[in-house]
Amino acid sequence: MKVSIMRPIFRPEDVPDPSFVLYPYHIFHLKLFYKRLGKSDRVLDYFAYVDLYRLGAERGDGFIDLYEWDVEERSIMEPLVDYEEARMKAFESAITWGNSRIVSWWLPRIEIVREARAYKVFWLYERDREKLLMDSLDGKEFSLDAVTGKGGRKCKGAWCR
């Protein structure tokens, strides 16, 4: 199946053909329109990256480059958050950010400029008989056993639920 993926920046070195898992996000480019008393109105751009597995939102600097990949369905994590919840999370995040920058009596009017369902690539590979996971956007490596809580270790990091 064809899906949009966030352009990978990092890839494991010395691993010829690592496998991967695709982690779901919904990306929004929003415009916030603020009315202000006695001053000119303000318009702000906001980019929200909503995690469709844990319902978190991050602010981005722009709309990340997306590529289309043809992948097997089994390599895609199913989202646990539906579109409406993701949209509301993006709006909530944008309003919180915008209100910290603009003084206004009114909530902003919000317009969706662009949006896309996209997946972040997590590389899966083995090094020195240890199974590892690498975030393709920041290059951080995690032990798969630590992430899944297997191997007698306590689960640490962003993958624990």
- Write the secondary structure of the chain as one string of H (helix), E (strand) and C (coil): CEEEEECCCCCCCCCCCCEEEEEEEEEEEEEEEECCCCCCCEEEEEEEEEECCCCCEEEECCCCCEEEEECCHHHECCCCCCHHHHHHHHHHHHHHHHHCCCCCCCCCEEEEEEEEEEEEEEEEEEECCEEEEEECCCCCEEEHHHHHCCCCCCCCCCCCC
28 touches 50 (CB < 8 A)? yes
The answer to the question of residue 55 being in a domain is yes
The answer to the question of residue 46 being in a domain is yes
Alpha carbon distances (Å) from 155 to 72, 73, 152, 158: 28, 27, 9, 9
The answer to the question of residue 102 being in a domain is yes
- The span from the CA of 86 to the CA of 80, in Å, is 10
- Domain ranges, residue 16: 2-148
Structure tokens, 158: 């962003």
In this predicted structure, what is the pLDDT of residue 17?
87
With tokens 């318009």, the residue in question is 43
The answer to the question of residue 158 being in a domain is no
The answer to the question of residue 59 being in a domain is yes
Over its length of 161 residues, how does the chain's per-residue pLDDT go in tens digits? 999 999 999 999 988 889 999 999 999 999 999 999 999 999 999 999 999 999 999 999 999 999 999 999 999 999 999 999 999 999 999 999 999 999 999 999 999 999 999 999 999 999 889 999 999 999 999 998 888 877 644 444 444 43
In this predicted structure, what is the pLDDT of residue 151?
60
pTM of the entire predicted model:
0.87
Domain count of the chain?
1
The answer to the question of residue 154 being in a domain is no
- The span from the CA of 93 to the CA of 110, in Å, is 12
Structure tokens, 119: 């997946």
The answer to the question of residue 157 being in a domain is no
Is residue 89 exposed (0-12), middle (13-18) or buried (19+ Cβ within 10 Å)?
buried
The answer to the question of residue 18 being in a domain is yes
